[in-house]
Chain A
Amino acid sequence: MALLEIRNLSVDFTTASGAFRAVDAVDVSVDKGEVLAIVGESGSGKSVSMLALMGLLPWTATITADVMEFEGRDLRALTPKARRKIVGKDIAMIFQEPMSSLNPCFTVGFQIKEALRLHMNMDRATRHKRAIELMDMVGIPAPESRLNTFPHQMSGGMNQRVMIAMSIACNPKLLIADEPTTALDVTIQAQILDLLTGLQRDTGMGLILITHDMGVVAENAERVSVQYAGQKVEDQPVYDLFARPHHPYTAALLAALPERATSKLLPTIPGVVPGQFDRPKGCLFSPRCAYADDRCRSTPPIPCGSELGLARCHYPLNATEEVKA
């Protein structure tokens, strides 16, 4: 049984100018001890789908899903109170901007201990000990004195570590890291990613890594799911995805990496991600796709089989002859 199983998740936002579908029929499944990376550009719905799982979306959002199970428990049927027992304890999330995600009015020690107080039934002394232990784990020097500092007194890298310490405080079974290193410098990024993958190996938790950096994906993920304009367009193990992308979007994205460039001019993807009012009728990628024909422009494709990386495409790339037949 998968640790997390989501099928056909859709999120609609009610906006002043009509309904907007931010996430469209996305499936996510993560096993224990697995590192899943979700990649996509801004507006591809990668953060929104995870916020929907956490129940952190505003009331303007309508969430529908066929299956939304964590350890076999249906998250849709839970009361908000029962759900809060899981969220923050068994499922934890690291947010993108450490500077704006921590509360500036409380010390970081208080904020780490809050999770322990609410979920773990620890007494004050144990909480204090555990907080120091956590800060030591995430590599914060002199943890005893740092407990009493406020977020503005520390650097971005330190605050991100505090966020990680908070999220792993209750030994979560699933950790969702939403662009955990985007705001950080590369040397700090390397430290944080080593820390996360190390924790994942040691504790056997599932890890969902949301990112747009293909380098981070290649070095840390086991399986990759690619999202485009709210849809999942491909899902493959990391080696296969980089070697044999099946969806034209994935292939174009990989070709656009400067480090894979063969000439001074890079291959580009023309156009931009479709917005609320210019969603194409057929395949969402068809206006920008080099291979699109009339069928792509009129009929939305359904995902292929797992041998083709679940590519949402009529004409998947790198298909072997047997599979085609």
Chain B
Amino acid sequence: MSDTPVVIAENLSRHYEVGGGMFRKPQVVRALSEASFTLHLGKTLAVVGESGCGKSTLARLITLIEEPTGGQFQLNGRGATRENWASLRTDVQIVFQDPYGSLNPRQKIGAILEEPLKINRPEMSAAERTAKARDMLRLVGLRPEHFERYPHMFSGGQRQRIAVARALMLDPKVLVLDEPVSALDLSIQSQILNLLTELQERMGLAYLFISHDLSVVKHMADDVIVMYLGRPVETGSKEEIFAGPRHPYTKALLSATPVAEPGLEKQRIKLAGELPSPMNVPPGCAFAPRCWKAQDRCHAERPLLEGATHRTACFFPEAGGTPSPAAPKPAT
């Protein structure tokens, strides 16, 4: 079962046109370019990157909220084109980052959970809907009496449980988790991560796990995509990425993540500068202006994702497999 690909994406791109006027051409924001990946049932694919790297755009495409401007993807064996959207939408659901903003404050929890059924399963009777909603409430670790309460009566962790329950009401195959724990406290975060792990084992769900927190990703993911400025720069299994990052950006990201181990001697790679604006992505490798290894070729030509399973888009990749090679010269 875990071999069944449920999402196959090929060169997904999403470009937005912004600005422009009567006499001015609109500019193009390349929010996401040429993302290809496969997501299997029962597995977790993590998408990592800093703000503006296209993580959330990818989530919106996979959840069928927006149409890609280039490339295509298959959901559950069927092409995700606009004609199929209505029938495919129940297979993929999303959990948002902010549990305070994503629940309607005027609806009771019961109504929130039953709404997807009302719309998508018109043949169900009201009693069946209520029964299913109550089952789901128990499944995510909430008590039956919570059914009649309003969202403001819950803590952040409980609200996130409700959001997960709502997403699972239609028995989806894929759950897109857009930073599901970054708004939660540490002690609550582990409860939600455990819930997600249990649900995945029980229901064989595929997770597209979007996060910027590498320690959470390391715990949850099977496969990882590292994105930079709208493009995947490195993909591979969790072990490959964390033990032997090949792309300099991945390496920098890993070295910048604080480790809860005082006195740990580590070489922190200092990146100079900030993310360039997605409106004028530098020609060549997008990371070149901040990269300590960049050479003329990097500024002129864009590297493609290369490799068999552990793929990286870099002309001068780090030696893979060795966890920490000689300290690189930090950029000035």
Contacts and interface: CB of A to CB of B under 8 A. Distances in A.
Interface of A: 41-42, 141, 155, 157-158, 185-191, 193-194, 212-219, 221, 238-239, 242, 252-254, 256-261, 264-270, 272-273
Nearest to A228: B187
A189 B216 contact: no
Contact of B51 (A42, A185, A213): A185
Contacts of B260: 214-215, 217-218, 242, 254, 257, 259-260
Contacts of A42: 185
Interface of B: 50-51, 155, 157-158, 185-191, 193-194, 197-198, 212, 214-216, 218-220, 252-253, 255-264, 268, 270-271, 273-275
A100 B268 CA distance: 30
17 contacts: A141-B273, A155-B274, A157-B274, A185-B275, A186-B256, A187-B253, A218-B259, A239-B262, A242-B260, A242-B262, A253-B186, A254-B260, A258-B189, A258-B216, A264-B197, A265-B194, A272-B157
Contacts of A266: 190, 193-194, 219
Nearest to B154: A272
Given A41-B187, A42-B185, A268-B191, A191 B253 contact: no
Per DSSP, are chain A's interface residues mostly helix, strand or loop, or mixed? Answer: helix
Contact of B186 (A187, A194, A214): A214
Given A187-B256, A260-B260, A265-B197, A215 B274 contact: no
A259 B219 contact: yes
A259 B253 contact: no
Contacts of A185: 50-51, 212, 275
Contacts of A254: 260
A165 B147 CA distance: 50
Contacts of A193: 258
A42 B51 CA distance: 23
B258 A256 contact: no
Contacts of A257: 186, 215, 260
B136 to A, nearest CB: 21
B190 A186 contact: no
A256 B189 contact: yes
Contacts of A186: 50, 212, 214, 253, 256-257
A191 B253 CA distance: 12
B187 A253 contact: yes
Given A42-B185, A257-B215, A265-B194, 12 more contacts: A41-B185, A41-B187, A185-B212, A186-B50, A187-B271, A194-B270, A212-B186, A264-B219, A266-B194, A266-B219, A272-B157, A272-B158
Contacts of A273: 185
Contacts of A259: 215, 218-219, 259-260
B148 to A, nearest CB: 20
Q: Which 10 A-B pairs have the closest CB atoms?
A: A215-B258, A258-B219, A185-B50, A41-B185, A190-B256, A266-B190, A269-B187, A214-B260, A256-B190, A259-B215
B256 A238 contact: no
Nearest to A217: B260
Contacts of B261: 218, 242
A256 B194 CA distance: 11
Most-contacted residue by chain B among A155, A157, A212, A215 (CB, 10 A): A215
A272 to B, nearest CB: 5
